[in-house]
Amino acid sequence: MAQTTFHWDSCAITNVGKVRKINEDAVLDNNEASLWVVADGMGGHAAGDVASSSIVNALREIRPSEDLPALITEVEEVILAVNRDLIRQANERVDRQTMGSTIAALLAHGDHCFCLWAGDSRVYRLRGDEFKRITVDHSKVQDLVDEGIIDEEDAESHPEANVITRAVGANDELFVDMDIFDVKDGDIYLVCSDGLFKELRESEIAEIMAGKPPEQSGQELVDLTLDRGSRDNVTVIVIHAHANKPS
């Protein structure tokens, strides 16, 4: 059986929010390479906007390839190179403060998607009525959830909800989590920073994403976040998968 191929519609929106003065989020919406990235500069650290922009600018150079394993390796190596460079820059600073950023990336290839992440920016999938978070946060509260100390529902309101345990630029050794999965016609993917799910419940996100083009649902997600007070920068990429008809 021939492999199903897909074409993609996507829309990326980023907003500084209602509280922050600087937008430390950076976003890459690259349909040509079927690569979508959200990077969230670490709040409270020096030059988070430089860190997130460094990730996006480096991944902007990725080009399409028929060789998926080689492509995955290239993406990972680019991120590790940025990690090394951010640590070098931090060590050259007088205050030696960390320059760090989360990353969540989605790469489409044929009838599969590859997901890569570090930190608490997320990737979701809406398939029919099933809304699934694909990434697992690298955060203090996620560790507490995994250990059964707190419930998932209590995580966002926990006093340590902003503490992440992994990020690009934070440590010499960076371990990036990865997942690969099949794509179905009609899948809708969301790549976002934590500024979105700090304000909106996952059920609300899924409801807004269903049955609307990426431009509309992306804008509605950001607008509702702003209506709720948007305590952080907010960035979303909404991505629709469409199966190509056999020629």
Model pLDDT for residues 106-117, shown as the tens digit of each residue: 999 999 999 999
The whole-number pLDDT of residue 163 equals 80
What's the pTM value of the predicted model, to 2 decimals? Answer: 0.93
What residues contact 18, with CB distance under 8 A and at least 6 apart?
226, 229, 230, 231
Checking if the pLDDT of 179 tops 60, the result is: yes
Banded model confidence at residue 65, pLDDT cuts 50, 70, 90: confident
What residues contact 226, with CB distance under 8 A and at least 6 apart?
15, 17, 18, 234
Q: How far apart are CA 163 and CA 150, in angstroms?
A: 15
The whole-number pLDDT of residue 154 equals 65
Q: How far apart are CA 95 and CA 11, in angstroms?
A: 38
Checking if the pLDDT of 64 tops 70, the result is: yes
Checking if the pLDDT of 4 tops 90, the result is: no
Render pLDDT for 84-96 as a digit per residue (tens, 0 to 9). Answer: 999 999 888 767 7
Read off the pLDDT of each residue in 5-34 and give the average, rounded to a whole number.
95
The whole-number pLDDT of residue 126 equals 98
Read off the pLDDT of each residue in 203-218 and give the average, rounded to a whole number.
97
